[in-house]
Amino acid sequence: NAGVTQTPKFRVLKTGQSMTLLCAQDMNHEYMYWYRQDPGMGLRLIHYSVGEGTTAKGEVPDGYNVSRLKKQNFLLGLESAAPSQTSVYFCASSVQGPVDGYTFGSGTRLTVV
Amino acid sequence: GQQLNQSPQSMFIQEGEDVSMNCTSSSIFNTWLWYKQDPGEGPVLLIALYKAGELTSNGRLTAQFGITRKDSFLNISASIPSDVGIYFCAAQNYGGSQGNLIFGKGTKLSVKP
């Protein structure tokens, strides 16, 4: 049972380039989330989804887009990367919301130069 | 917006010592959770608390949901080297943050040199 899998694990982008981060879960969870983690800032919610075909904005959504076409996948897109988006990105999923606790992936370390 | 204040920000432990950390807020929450993050990995759920005053243990870890519902505490007894990492508190209030979890900025545990 793989849990939550994030790809890629590392990536370096040039300013203005675009990319998509993929999150896949095999636990049949309804809810999925994208967080970013920066030193001294903790975890901040970017976007989330409460089910297939739905997405919603979190605390820091600007510069990112998401899609949840299939229940098991949640994609995070950066259309035009900026140095301020250098961060570690974590995907998480939960059965039916936060009270169940989240299962996190192992993260994607993104550097924008 | 709602914020969780975690303290201490960092601490050094010596094997065998007991460790205490806490999380406070000016807001009331319905659920408190504690996560641990090892280097290069995503956070892992340690303990979930659902009722004011609740005291829950997981091995050497004990967490409490504060009576005022504005705080939570985590204690680690007889620490061992593998306890090092970053500990995050998280909380949910159905009426705020779209019902999603918000996270503290973390308490980093390191081994005393």
Per-residue pLDDT reduced to its tens digit, A88-98: 999 999 987 77
Q: Tens-of-pLDDT digits for all 113 residues of chain B?
A: 678 999 999 999 899 999 999 999 999 998 999 999 999 899 999 999 999 999 999 999 999 999 999 999 999 999 999 999 999 999 986 654 456 788 999 999 998 87
Evaluate if residue A70 carries a pLDDT over 50: yes
A39 Cβ under 8 Å from any chain B Cβ? no
Token couple for A12: 């370096």
What's the gap in Å between the CA of B25 and the closest CA on chain A?
15
The structure tokens 């999150």 sit at A23
Interface test with B, best of A45, A102, A103 (most B CBs within 10 A): A102
For the beta sheet containing B5-7, the strands, ordered from the edge strand earlier in sequence to the opposite edge, are: B5-7, B19-24, B71-76, B61-65, B55-58
Buried b (16+ CB within 10 A) or exposed e, B28-67: ebbbbbbbbbeeeebbebbbbbeebebebeeeebbbbbbe
Q: Are A81 and A112 in contact (CB under 8 A)?
A: yes
Cα dihedral sign, A94-A98-A103-A104: positive
Count of pairs with CB atoms under 8 A, one residue in A, one in B? 56
SS3 B82: helix
pLDDT (tens digit per residue) in A73-91: 999 999 999 999 999 999 9
Contacts with B90 from chain A: Cβ below 8 Å: 98
Cross-chain Cβ contact A101/B42 below 8 Å = no
- Cα separations in angstroms, A48 against A5, A92, B10, B20, B54: 16, 9, 30, 32, 29
Residue A106 is nearest to which of B42, B45, B99, comparing CB atoms? B42
SS3 B32: strand
Q: What residues pair up with A64 in beta bridges, in sequence order?
A: A78
